[in-house]
Amino acid sequence: MKTGLNLNHEELEKYQSYAEEHLGFRFNDIGLLVTALTHRSYVNEHRKIHIEHNERLEFLGDAVLELVVSDYLFRNFNLPEGVMTALRSSLVRTEANSLAGVHLGYDPLIRLSHGEKAGSERAHAVILADCFEAVIGAVYIDQGESAARDLIYKFTISKLPQILEDESWRDAKSYFQELVQHFYNAIPTYHTLSVDGPDHCREYTIGLYVGETKIAEAKGHSKQEAQTICAREGIRQYKAKGMSLPIAGMNEKH
């Protein structure tokens, strides 16, 4: 893989040392790891030399990640397709991949443009998530399927028990409505309490109510985001009271 790394031996060794400490091996082609942690913006800022960004590796890693997670769910749970799809989505969504990136600790090695370095926290979370998929792709090519699978088991599938426990795999708004209908024979409502900020960066404050009782209040950059946060809080409160709805086949296979 020709990458045009534009890095000296000492700089490359930083990536090898990282791989040894956090991944447990040295890359045969350290350029794969460097490329996995190279954002498109960095390439655009260094047009005079050929440097490959991580989007091709991200494409591959995304496919490997989905396959490994799908295989695990299929082999270990007797669940309908829709439920397995929801579980997989919760495991591989941007927030989950970004958190995996934080735990892997590669943030200081990501190559970004000066503009991206000063970007928002939300934008950086997306970059961390994309790099996680690219690192999976790099490991898959350099070390093989087994090493990539081990990485995914450690940083993605290991989160499944918590996702099952807090039921965050469910669509929060739909599930909270099911809970309210089942236990109270009512329908929850969402009310916009305030809208703040300039047109390009609105912040919505939403209240979640069951009847006249306010269950939760949350802020978000969209009404949908704030409503979802409210619904998750409602689910948490109901679950603390022992109020939940089981899914047939949720028990693991034996």
Q: What is the C-alpha separation between 87 and 82, in angstroms, rounded?
A: 9
62 is catalytic: yes
* Three-state secondary structure of 33-89: HHHHCECHHHHHHCCCCCCCCCHHHHHHHHHHHHHHHHHHHHHHECCCHHHHHHHHH
Distance of CA 81 to the CA centre of its chain: 21
- Which candidate in 52, 58, 116, 133 is catalytic? 133
pLDDT at 77: 92
CATH code for residues 172-240: 3.30.160.20
Mean pLDDT, rounded, of the chain = 91
pLDDT at 246: 74
Mind listing the pLDDT tens digit for each residue in 50-103?
789 999 999 999 999 999 999 999 999 999 999 999 999 999 999 999 999 999
The verdict on pTM exceeding 0.85 is no
Under the banding of pLDDT at 50, 70 and 90, the label for residue 115 is confident
**Percent of all residues in the chain with a pLDDT value above 70, rounded to a whole number:** 95
DSSP state of 111: B
Q: Which CATH class is domain 9-166?
A: mainly alpha
- Cα distances from 31 to residues 35, 36, 45, 94, 97, in angstroms, run 6, 8, 19, 25, 22
Under the banding of pLDDT at 50, 70 and 90, the label for residue 2 is very low
Mean pLDDT of 229-246: 90
Q: Which of 62-76, 110-124, 133-147, 240-254 has the lowest mean pLDDT?
A: 240-254
**Domain regions of the chain by residue span:** 9-166, 172-240
CB atoms < 10 A from the CB of 47, how many? 8
In the predicted model, is pLDDT for residue 234 greater than 50?
yes
Q: Write down how long the chain is.
A: 254
- Which candidate in 62, 116, 142, 167 is catalytic? 62
